[in-house]
Amino acid sequence: MNIKQKYLKNINFPSDIKKLKQFELKNLADEVRQEMIDAVSETGGHLGAGLGVVELTVALHYVFNTPNDKLIWDVGHQSYPHKILTGRKDRIRTLRKGKGLSGFTKRSESEYDPFGAAHSSTSISSALGIAVANKLSNKSDNVIAVIGDGAMSAGMAYEAMNNAGASKTKMIVVLNDNDMSIAKPVGAMRSYLAKILSGKIYFSFRETIKLIISAFSKRFSKQAGKAEDFLRSAVTGGTLFNSMGFYYMGPIDGHDTDSLVSVLKSAKEINFNGPIMIHIKTQKGKGYEFAEKSEDKYHGVSKFNINTGVQEKSKSNIPSYTKVFANTLVKHAEKDSKIVGITAAMPSGTGMDIFGEKFPARMFDVGIAEQHAVTFAAGLATEGFKPYATIYSTFLQRAYDQVVHDVAIQSLPVRFAIDRAGLVGADGPTHAGSFDITYLSTLPNFIVMAASDEADLVRMINTSVDINSQPSAFRYPRGNGIGVNLPSINEKIEIGKGRIIKEGKKVALINFGTRLNECMVAYNNLLKKGINITIFDARFAKPLDENVIWQLAIDHEVLITIEEGSIGGFGSHVSQFLNDKNLMDNNLKYRSMNLPDRFIEHDKPDLMYKNAGLDSNSIENKILDTLNSKIIVKKTN
């Protein structure tokens, strides 16, 4: 789609924006918005959040001297307009593609990205660190953090504000209040911001005070400033932000470029020894009708038709792992009133929206607060309930201390449904579920399962319902299953027991997770070469199926484990077991296949697994290399 551009075509870097007249900024913002809609329609990605901050982005780069002044975007999915205006316009249609632009801010991508972000609520903390570093280095550069899209529901934001207010360090925080995260935000903060926004009388009085300040001589300005502070407290009842040491400005219209430029200039020039909070009100999806009407469905999108808003759908009729999980849990909850679901601001992403529709009183969206979600689940478990903490692998990392201290040590039966396990594609390393096998399997008395397909996921959910004396977790990937028939909710798995898939000689391949299908491809290729291997689907990283692993080690010359996780996970536990039982002394050749000790950049999932050395071809070569075979398998391009 060709977009007629009058302004954007001449904007390559923020310095070009400064050449415009202020009244032209609105026109530039309109062109940036259209460019973003057009680009994301081709690439997919995060749409709604970026559309809501177009005017803000233009105004920030107009007022501040980036990259010397540091502009930090929380989460990063608001940053597409920022990328368009900071030297990446010509590459914007490579978003989230292999070797293309990241969908988030990334330090290695641009000097205009001073801090990488893809998880929520890190902006104020990192901005304060940069601001303090500037102060210690006697630098006067400005530091601006943009937080919003629900990120203020996370405790880390308040920890940072508490520290910032006490530090008396000059920095600017822009609160982008769009009344949304991925879904509607929850909690007291949402109500608090709504009360501030309802106090419109404050605006007219405040403007009156400004007129008084400008009309009187400078010797009265200090008293007038005190009057404004008094007015702010009297009319709004005081603000949380003021009480935490911030100079509060707002709320203002985040789509009015003139107002934005004015308030940003004021914040830049104000003589205040401490942090400044600028509260702006925006609309998620602004400027694109379909995104405005359905903010949650247009938070993250696949490719779509601009004219109709229709997104490309998977051609597969096979249900996603997420949907299989949700539907199975609903069936159990219909019979067991003790089952409750918990999500951390991801109801649609985790399938908890499906559960919540059936059991609204038993589904809890706690906001972007994974730490709280885990301990909240632990509290429920102490009273005999069966909480399912349904959290992406990458986000569960944020609550690891709570998993250890509040769940594992007390041996509470919290069930962790770990979505997005393994490599996830376009979101890249920040969202990859690379470490949960390792960080959960190290915990005493924890049960850790991984489904090899959607049928086994059902069995693991069925099994977890009856685990009432210890914590458990089952992991499953993003995307659709492989198309197998689903068992009933009565079919369970014996704890710590795997299954033999194929029986062969010399080589035993032990799978943990959804690499099983790739193992089968490798098996068939090797069979054509006269090599018949054993495939064992372990199902459990903890407890291990020690009897079967012992027998496999005795009966085979080569033992190879494979998993979609980091070093230190399933393979390490198998290795520890083999060593403890002196099974390595029998000339057993043991190898492990796991994610390499590096982060895998975003790409299509199959290409990421090939890059990681966990595709069928890599499995085949690993087996042949270990056997010291002369057969050479050509690597495909």
Active site residues: 284, 370, 398
**Cα dihedral angle (274, 279, 284, 289), rounded to 10 degrees?**
-140
Pairing mode, strands 70-73 and 143-148 = parallel
The angle at the Cα of 191, spanning 186 to 194, to the nearest 5 degrees, equals 120
Cα separation, 82 vs 104, whole angstroms: 11
| Single-letter amino acid code for the residue at 326 | A
Q: Three-state SS across 22-33?
A: HHHHHHHHHHHH
Cα separation, 383 vs 345, whole angstroms: 24
DSSP-assigned beta bridge partners for residue 510 = 536, 561
Q: Are 419 and 352 in contact (CB under 8 A)?
A: no
Pairing mode, strands 386-392 and 143-148 = unpaired
Q: Are 614 and 595 in contact (CB under 8 A)?
A: yes
Q: Where are the beta strands (DSSP E) in 288-402?
A: 300-301, 339-343, 363-365, 386-392
Give the helix ranges, DSSP H, for 137-243. Answer: 155-167, 188-198, 201-215, 221-236, 240-243
| Single-letter amino acid code for the residue at 253 | D
Cα separation, 132 vs 138, whole angstroms: 10
CA distances from 525 to 119, 515, 634 (A): 41, 16, 12
Q: Three-state SS across 316-346?
A: CCCCEHHHHHHHHHHHHHHHCCCEEEEECCC
- Burial grade of 247 (CB within 10 A; 0-12, 13-18, 19 or more): buried
**Residue written as tokens 């890249």?**
428
Two tokens, residue 429: 């390393």
DSSP-assigned beta bridge partners for residue 320 = 480
- Computed on alpha carbons and rounded to an integer, the radius of gyration of the chain in Å comes to 27
Pairing mode, strands 275-281 and 589-593 = unpaired
**Residue written as tokens 């099983």?**
516
Q: Are 491 and 461 in contact (CB under 8 A)?
A: no
Cα separation, 436 vs 565, whole angstroms: 7
Cα separation, 249 vs 233, whole angstroms: 13
Cα separation, 187 vs 518, whole angstroms: 44
For 474, the enclosing helix (H) or strand (E) is strand 472-475
